[in-house]
Structure 1
Amino acid sequence: MSDSPSGHVVAVARDDAHRFSKPTRDSIVLIANHGVEGDVHAGSTVTHLSRVRRDPAAPNLRQVHLLHSELFADMARRGHGIAPGALGENVTTAGVDLLALPLGTRLAIGDDAVVELTGLRNPCRQIDGLSKGLMKELVHVDDRGETVRLAGVMSVVVAGGEVRPGDGIRVILPVGAPQPLRAV
């Protein structure tokens, strides 16, 4: 695997109940093959309510949600105020082009934690409850007819550890031909 320098953690969040936004914290603990300690979406099998209804035994590819803070300024220009944790993400980043990374990319966060990207977040309509029309901004069809998803990326925890605002993030690209992230 090749390493490339990157950014840092802006904020971390977790919630123990199924609510749309997550409160920010001083730190979170990632647990290998499980997710964020104390977060409702942690687990080796699906925990998102809509996915549990479809197949409760399916692997949880959405253990940790990461979102790039650069999105906040773009959405503010479009009339949507967003703050860390508001879109339900666990880790808000800066300086990492999350949406451009290929499937299987690993992010080493802080001293010990490592997550592996599994896909693009496929958000639900609850986003419009945060700000009317926000869903259309975060998921839309471009001029080529392709669906564009801007609501961050999903990952699984490969190595556990504590994650705090200010922690560095190092991108570790997968070996082989890059595969684009798809909605999960």
Structure 2
Amino acid sequence: MAKVLAINISDKKGVIKTSIDEGVFVEDYGLKGDAHAGKWHRQVSLLAKESIDKMTAMGITGLVPGKFAENITTEGINLYKLPVGTRLKIGDTIQEVTQIGKECHKGCAIKQQVGKCIMPTEGIFTRVLKGGVIKPDDSIEIIK
């Protein structure tokens, strides 16, 4: 079963995010209080624990949810294989996949601290179609 492991937030772009108990996701905006939220196509970022585990297997230590600046850390779903346009029910929200991966910007704190970033190949971005609350352990369903 696909589920949410963590909700992560930061007030600046390009930095590691801190895990919170629950996130309020606003329609056509993103995670309330997060630096990446706004009226654009990359409102929410998601990264799978399975992707983070690949980095751990390469010998990188200290990786925890939010370390790659993802808003939602997931488990049990192969995010980067979802086609753009896929709709997901996550907690109370409905989100649409808008982009797979992105290049790290110059001076990215994650790349500097971790040495390599997995977001460019395995992170995904969504737009919030229906707002609501998301908490750890909430299920993630692909809407057919």
Same fold? TM cut 0.5? yes
Q: Which amino acid aligns with 2:75?
A: A
RMSD over equivalenced CA pairs, Å: 1.6
Give matches, 1:14-163, under 5 Å: 14-44=9-39, 60-81=40-61, 82-110=63-91, 112-124=92-104, 125=106, 126=108, 127-132=110-115, 134-135=116-117, 138=118, 149-150=121-122, 152-163=123-134
Separation in structure 1 between the aligned mates of residue 31 and residue 113 of structure 2, nearest angstrom = 23
Number of matched pairs: 140
Q: Counterpart amino acid of 1:8? A: K
Q: For residues 62 and 37 of structure 1, what CA distance do their matches in structure 2 show?
A: 14
Aligned structure 1 segments of 4 or more residues deviating by more than 3 angstroms: none
Distance 1:64 1:116 in 2: 10
- Where do 5+ consecutive residues of structure 1 fail to align? 1-5, 45-59, 140-147, 174-184
User: Percent identity of the aligned residues?
Assistant: 35
TM-score by length of 1: 0.71
Structure-2 separation of matches of 1:100 and 1:28:
25
The structure with the largest alpha-carbon Rg is 1
Question: What TM-score, normalized by structure 2, do the two folds share?
Answer: 0.90
